Amino acid sequence: SENFFYKIVDNMEKLGMDPEQAIFNDKTGAIRYYPSHIVSATMKIMLQGATKSLEIASNSLMNVSRYLKNIHLINEKIRDVLSETLSSLNFQSAIVAPMISGIVVGLTAMIMIILSSLNVQMETLQAQAQGQELGELSSAWSIGFFSVKNAIPLTHFQLIVGGYFIQVVILMMHLSAKIESAGDPIKQKQKIGKTLLVATIVYTLVTLGVTIFFGGIAKIALVTSA
C-alpha cells in the first residue's frame, strides 16, 4: 500500500498529473503496477467521493475497508468448508488422473505386444495348418476379429488418452483455482500450470514404468511359452 501511494504522489509531483491520471494512466499510472480489480474499484470510489468532499471520500474508503474485511472472513469460512473437496481435487488432478491414464496406456501397450506376438505365431501356424480344426481357428483369426492390423495404433491411442487426461486436469484445477483465488486470474493460471506440469511428469513416469515392467513380463512369458 505504501509503494502504491508513493507512486501516485510521484506521478503528481514529477509529471504534473491530476489524481485520476496518476492512478489510471495507461503508461505510468500506479494501477498499472498493481493490476487488481479491488484496488481499481476502490480508487474509483475514492476519486468520486473526493470530488464532493474529503469526508465523503474517507467514509467511502472506511465502508470499503469494512466490506473487504467481511468478504475476507466469508472467504475463509468457505475455504474451511470446502477444504476437503479442494484437497481431493488437487490430489486427483496431480496424482490420480495421470496415474490412471498412464496405467491404461501401459497396459494397452502390453496387450498390443501380446497380440502382435500371437498374430505372428498364428500366421506361422496358418501357413503350416493341417486339419479342419486348426484351419477353422486360423480362419477365425484371419477374418480380422483378432487382427492387430485393424487395431488403432498405440501412438494414436496414447494421444487420445493424453488429451483426455490434460482436459480433465485443466477442468478440475480451473474449478479449484476459481474457489481458492477468486478474482485473481494470474494466480489461477499459475496454479493450473504448476499442477499440469506435475501431472504430466507423473503421467510420463507411470506410462514408462508400466510399459517397461508389464511389457518385459509379457515378452518373457511369450518367450517361455514358445
Query: Which pLDDT score, from 0 to 100, does residue 201 have?
Result: 92
pLDDT band at 149 (very low <50, low <70, confident <90, very high): low
User: Is the model's pLDDT at 134 over the cut of 60?
Assistant: no
User: pLDDT higher for 181 or 159?
Assistant: 159
CB 173 within 8 A of CB 67: no
User: Is the model's pLDDT at 206 over the cut of 50?
Assistant: yes
Q: What is the DSSP string of 60-74?
A: HHHHHHHHHHHHHHH
- Tell me the C-alpha distance between 4 and 210, whole Å: 53
Its pTM surpasses 0.75: no
122-132 pLDDT tens trace: 667 666 665 54
- Quick one: average pLDDT of 187-216? 87
Report the chain's mean pLDDT, rounded to a whole number: 79
